[in-house]
Structure 1
Amino acid sequence: MRSTLILLSFAILFVAFIDGAVKPVHSDKDVVPHEEQMLDVDTIFRALGVPYCMRKCIDPFINSTTSLWNMKNVVNQARKVCSQHAQAITCLKKEQFCDHLKIFSKASSSVEYMCATKHVLFERMESCLNPIVDDVMSTCDKECYSRSNLTAFAQDSNIKFAATVGGNAFIVADHLGDLCTSLQCTLPCVTKRLNNKCALSGWLSLDMLMQPFDAVSVMVEQLSPPLKDLIIKKIDKRCHFAINPNQLNRIRNGDFNAFNK
């Protein structure tokens, strides 16, 4: 059970990293963008076995992050994202037995870090970031295929099968490799390009984006050796950096060669 929760957290963080719009479990059609703009997060979440009680809390937050998926007006939408994230956390606290290990909180900790811990620094950089962030994200997406790989992941027949059987975190873990390749490209791309446009903003963004990986690596380190070995075997080698504290620390400090040790 514990190993499945680790894999669940590990997979959810990829959705949190590159969010898209999700068809809600409720009937509010007004928050859903046009079909051609949507990522099938619903299939991903069902493949992960995310329970209904969690979905009803987090779907409004996922829908609020469509600016990240569309890469338009990202900076100006940050406050809305922060508000919806806080509401999702509050909702989950009321559902006492839904997410008692705080998987969603850990997987979306980048948002919490930006909204609660680093918001003053981001506000100081807002005037510089606002004109350039959308272009930086779009350029890095074209170089790193983040959105196309995530879309392909959601459309994979194995992921769709996992979704139909109530979720299978191990199947999901077997198909994370291309997403990890995109991350290995995206993190240095965003960091370097933002630093070039707005001094230190790239390092601040990298620090923020590393938060969920740190959380997952801590969870893995706390496992018994047999379970830890199982996680390492099940996750694609391209993703091993995400559960290795030493590699994560080097990446956080700008050593992007650490992705491959």
Structure 2
Amino acid sequence: MRSLLYFLLIIIAAASAAIVQSPSDKDIVPHGEELLDVDTIFRAMGVPFCMRKCIDGFINSTTTLWTMRNVVGQARNVCTSHAKAISCLKHDQFCDMNKIFKVASSSVEYMCTKKYVLFERMEKCLTPVVDKIMEECDNTCYSRSNLTAFSNNSNIQFAATVGGNVFIVTDHLGDLCGSLQCTLPCVTQKLNQACALSGWLALDMLMQPFDAATVMIEQLAPPLRDLVIKKVDKRCRFAINASQLNRIRNGDFTAFNSL
């Protein structure tokens, strides 16, 4: 059960990182009039309250990116709130003993610690172009729309009312993974065209939690590993396949559908 929760958090974190649509463009996005319900998503996954009290500030800071306005400028706030969330969970050592949140949000930590110097060097180039690039990609890939629809799905809302059901949530991840398959190459290629190497930096950052997920899946007992793989929509299976992930990281986006 924990392994599925872990995987779900990674997919949701990655989908949230791909939120790229301005709410003013309702004529483009099929679900534009619905509101993203982050609380329902977390309750549907059964995320414990002790974790929520630590990570809600971070979640709130990431949802400020929802409009894709001043993304570069808001990155520092996201880094600060993430560090606070990690510190809070360390003080409550029994809440997240398996470090689920730390791994699920590892792309943020990776950018904020190991890659921030590179990000700062690219900041001047990225600031005037990144919002438009992200918005253009979502006009094609519907990351924001699909995440919003996911949070408003009646089955997800039911799972939230019964204290969480990771199997129900897993059954409805397909569209989110489909958006990721579209968004990752779109953002990578457009950012590289605008600011040299910035697309590869973004891709490297977003791939971090998936790499960790494959390690976790491989360490499971074979029956449980087979159950996780069976439950995951085929559009999401790239996220737990080390060979596919390695090819994607190196720019071979045909690997999304290689199995």
Distance 1:60 1:40 in 2: 15
Distance 2:87 2:192 in 1: 34
Question: Which of the numbers 42, 46, 49 marks the counterpart of 1:45?
Answer: 42
Unaligned runs of 5+ in 2: 18-32
Give the drift of 1:10.
1.5
Task: Note the aligned Cα RMSD (angstroms).
Answer: 1.3
| Change beyond 3 A, Cα 1:37–1:176 | closer
Distance 1:48 1:100 in 2: 17
**Is 1:200 paired with 2:206?**
no
Give the drift of 1:7.
1.3
Question: Which of the numbers 159, 162, 167 marks the counterpart of 2:159?
Answer: 162
Which residue is 2:182 aligned to?
Answer: 185
Q: Is the 8 A contact 1:76 1:130 kept in 2?
A: yes
Which residue is 1:129 aligned to?
Answer: 126
2:163 aligned counterpart, secondary structure: coil
TM-score, normalised to structure 2, is: 0.91
Larger relative contact order (CA 8 Å, sep ≥ 6) = 2
Which residue is 1:148 aligned to?
Answer: 145
Distance 1:136 1:215 in 2: 28
Equivalenced residues, count: 243
Unaligned runs of 5+ in 1: 21-35
Give the drift of 1:161.
0.8
1:96 aligned counterpart, secondary structure: coil
**Is 1:10 paired with 2:19?**
no
Give the drift of 1:228.
0.6
Which residue is 1:88 aligned to?
Answer: 85
Give the drift of 1:5.
1.3
Distance 1:18 1:232 in 2: 19
Q: Is the 8 A contact 2:174 2:236 kept in 1?
A: yes
Q: Is the 8 A contact 1:19 1:68 kept in 2?
A: no
Which residue identity lines up with residue 143 of structure 1 in the other structure? T
Give the drift of 1:9.
1.5
Percent identical = 72
Which residue is 1:54 aligned to?
Answer: 51
Question: Which of the numbers 210, 213, 224 marks the counterpart of 1:213?
Answer: 210
Which residue is 1:27 aligned to?
Answer: none
Give the drift of 1:37.
8.8
Q: Is the 8 A contact 1:15 1:41 kept in 2?
A: no
Runs of 4+ in 1 over 3 A off after TM superposition: none
| Change beyond 3 A, Cα 1:14–1:69 | farther
Q: Deviations over 1:32-87 (max 9, x none)?
A: xxxx7952010000000001100010010011113422111010011111000000
In the TM superposition, 1:61-140 aligns within 5 A as 61-140=58-137
| Change beyond 3 A, Cα 1:152–1:146 | same
TM-score, normalised to structure 1, is: 0.91
Distance 1:60 1:133 in 2: 24
Deviates more, 1:58-67 or 1:181-190: 58-67
